[in-house]
Chains A and B, each alone.
Chain A
Amino acid sequence: MQTHLTINGTQRRLDLDPRTTLLDALRHHLGLTGSKKGCDHGQCGACTVMVNGRRINACLTLACMHDGDEVTTIEGIGQPDDLSPLQQAFVSEDGFQCGYCTPGQICSATAMLQEISDGWPSHVTSDLAGEAELTSDEISERMSGNLCRCSAYPNIVQAIHKAAGKNA
């Protein structure tokens, strides 16, 4: 069936079997292999992309459910010669080892920084009405859907702090 998507600012028309997940559509039909397939069950976060500004697991949604949506993948966040501040921070802080989870981590963290600047409630403090502060605990909780088997977590948190321009 036909689906119209805006991917990284470009309108794309897909004619796909409706069972195709958004992740498979990106990887196999649009050649955007930056989003990775880690577990296919929404548990590892390697496939995290942003849809209409919100991070989601691309493996847990069908492409055809996103007719008219705006999708941002890792390829839309920056390029090797034009890195976003967060991408630069992942390089300078060594925020990865094997790199397989990295696109998902960066998509997730990009959206997370936006959530915090939008004033979403904290996940960590008991004061639910309170505004979230970017502590290491806050980052850990908000990034807990993105697994890194190499356990580069200390540097991932460091990179997010650096990109956010704040220290915990």
Chain B
Amino acid sequence: MKAPDFDYARPSSLQEALALLAAGEGGAQPLAGGQSLMPMLNFRISTPEMLVDLSGLPELRGLEQTPQGLRIGAMTRYCELEAFPDLAKIQPLVAAALPHIAHDAIRNRGTIGGSVALADPAAEMPAILLALGAVISLDGPNGPRDVAADDYFLGYYETACEPDELITSILLPKIEPGDSFGFHELVQRHGDYAMAGVAIRSSGIAPLAGLRIGFFGVADRALRVTALEDALNGTDGTDIAGALSHLSEIDFQGDTKITAETRAHYAGVALKRALKEMLT
């Protein structure tokens, strides 16, 4: 164990937690499930002075189907979401994607809010929120506010959530009759971070309409390419070669696994596969 020096606090209310974050002046790091933060601490990528454990905050709990959609308390663990009754009917995209997110032992600790707050560019959840048009509820010194997923993911581990703010919950809007979903990721192995992946929501399939396609594992953040969505809307989604040219808008990144060129190719393959599965 080689985590850097830090203090630890487990506040019992949201206000207390926000006060700790404010007092930390950027040196305080919220700790949710820890499944991404702990390796970063061990790798010394992250060196906070204080960890603020969010597990004691009742305001961040809760998982319920509301008239607006599925409201997910930020501290909801993946395994709790997986076990939510009728999830496959209420949020089929989430149900389809969950088994691809890491391994059971990770999902038993990792939280939805933690993943969204961290915004790992290769993680599935941010792209799912983009596809679903989710709304992220934040709270902070200036009071609560809602941010659309489209405005939330800003860059490499960079989000609209200020250092003194916390995600309180995430709303996945209720699905409409006729909504279709697609999900596909290319991984070295089941449970790994994606080499390229997509999450799709479409309000119709013949033709495609109101498409929202979240890409992940391709660039510095999860993102949509609206020109590509526009090119596909109104088509039957079988011939996408022309639309794929819009992928050039993405600033693909290379890493130890694959080059940027291969990643660009993979993004197209993932999209084709997800569309094909959605349409059949």
Contacts and interface: CB of A to CB of B under 8 A. Distances in A.
A165 to B, nearest CB: 21
Contacts of A60: 34-35, 38-39, 106, 109
B105 A57 contact: yes
Q: How large is the interface on A (under 10, 10 to 19, 20 to 34, 35 or more residues)?
A: 35 or more
Interface in B201-216: none
A61 interface: yes
B104 A18 contact: no
A55 B108 CA distance: 7
A19 B3 contact: yes
Interface string A115-126: 100001101000
A120 B88 CA distance: 13
Interface string B1-14: 11101111010000
Contact of A144 (B51, B92, B191): B191
A145 B191 CA distance: 8
Interface string A56-93: 11011110110100000000000000000000000000
Interface stretch (A4-12, A39-47, A94-102, A153-161): A39-47
Where chain A touches its partner, the secondary structure class is mixed
Interface string B29-40: 001001100110
Interface residues of B, number: 37
Interface string B85-123: 000110010011001001111101100000000000000
Contact of A120 (B7, B39, B82, B95): B82
Contact of B1 (A21, A57, A120): A21
B105 A61 contact: no
Nearest to A111: B104
A19 B103 contact: no
Interface of A: 1, 18-21, 23-24, 40-42, 45, 48, 51, 54-57, 59-62, 64-65, 67, 108, 111-112, 115, 120-121, 123, 128-129, 141-142, 144-145
Contacts of B89: 129
Given A1-B8, A120-B82, A145 B39 contact: no
B7 A18 contact: yes
B55 interface: yes
Contacts of B262: none
Contact of A145 (B8, B79, B102): B102
A97 B102 CA distance: 26
